[in-house]
């Protein structure tokens, strides 16, 4: 019998700090996110959660500590290799939908692979599948102004998961939505997690954080609590 292969964590931060001049945006953060997990990183504005998002998304390098994404040591990668890792491994969803006016949903999603070298017909075929996946098969040719806020966010999610990334980073994904649309988007993120995508939601909304399987609370640049880590006896 062949020994089973253990997949590395999708995210592994060890002693990660990020400073901007005298300001410590993140201090000595340790975080491990296993494949298929879903968790919230929660904290007030200015707590450091956006800095953590940027580091996990390889958009920023830490001042100190080590970062591994899907088994790759970020410090060992060139900028070109880092861009390739980001394109193939990480999907981003933001509070702002970043959809260009006048561009139908199908092409907005297909444009997510604009630099892949694949022909337009292939990109559109994959975009069609992604839009089906998020329940927008009936909105392929609608432009942003013809879509509700929740639908626009689902288009953005379809674009983010187009290449089936190992890690989906969602930064305040319901922040611009009403409660009903927000609930639909969160259920979609749960569906993606059930299908095997690792989902990290960055939020200041404690109700959203409490609804997820794991909560990581950040305060003043430090991880104050992680429900996925057992507290030492007597703590």
Judge whether residue 233 has pLDDT over 60: no
Sketch out the chain's domains with CATH numbers.
36-58+85-226 (3.40.50.300)
Q: What is the pLDDT of residues 99-124, one digit of tens each?
A: 999 999 999 999 887 766 778 899 99
Q: What are the two backbone dihedrals, phi and then psi, of residue 194, each rounded to the nearest 5 degrees?
A: -65, -25
Does 82 have pLDDT greater than 70?
A: yes
Threshold 0.85, pTM exceeds: yes
pLDDT in tens, 161-201: 988 899 999 999 999 899 999 999 999 999 999 999 999 99
Return mean pLDDT, the chain: 91
- Closest C-alpha among 192, 151, 148 to residue 170: 192
Chain CA centroid to CA 174, Å: 13
201 phi, psi to nearest 5 deg: -105, 120
Measured in degrees and rounded to the nearest 5, phi and psi for residue 9 equal -60, 150
Which of 106, 192, 198, 199 minimizes the C-alpha distance to 155?
106
Average the pLDDT over 4-23 and give the result. Answer: 89
CA dihedral sign of residues 71, 215, 197, 131 = negative
| pLDDT > 70? residue 5 | no
């Amino acid at each position: 019998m062949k020994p089973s292969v253990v997949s590395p964590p999708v995210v592994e931060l060890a002693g990660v700090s990020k400073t901007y001049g005298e300001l410590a945006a993140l201090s000595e953060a340790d975080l491990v996110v296993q494949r298929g997990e879903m968790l919230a990183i929660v904290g007030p504005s200015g707590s450091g959660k956006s800095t953590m998002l940027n580091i996990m998304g390889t958009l920023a390098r830490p001042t100190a500590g080590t970062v591994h994404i899907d088994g790759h040591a970020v410090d060992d990668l060139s900028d070109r290799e880092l861009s390739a890792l980001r394109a193939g491994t990480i999907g981003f969803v933001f509070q702002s939908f970043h959809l260009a006016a006048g561009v139908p949903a199908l092409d907005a999603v297909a444009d997510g692979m604009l630099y892949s070298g694949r022909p337009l017909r292939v990109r559109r075929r994959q975009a069609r599948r992604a839009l089906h996946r998020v329940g927008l098969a009936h909105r392929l040719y609608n432009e942003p102004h013809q879509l509700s806020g929740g639908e626009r966010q689902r288009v953005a999610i379809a674009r983010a998961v187009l290449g089936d990334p190992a890690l989906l980073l969602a930064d305040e994904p319901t922040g611009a939505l009403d409660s009903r649309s927000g609930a639909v988007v969160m259920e979609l993120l749960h569906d993606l997690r059930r299908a095997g995508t690792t989902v990290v939601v960055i939020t200041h909304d404690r109700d959203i954080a409490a609804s997820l399987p794991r909560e990581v609370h950040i305060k003043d640049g430090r991880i104050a609590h992680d429900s996925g880590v057992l507290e030492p006896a007597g703590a």
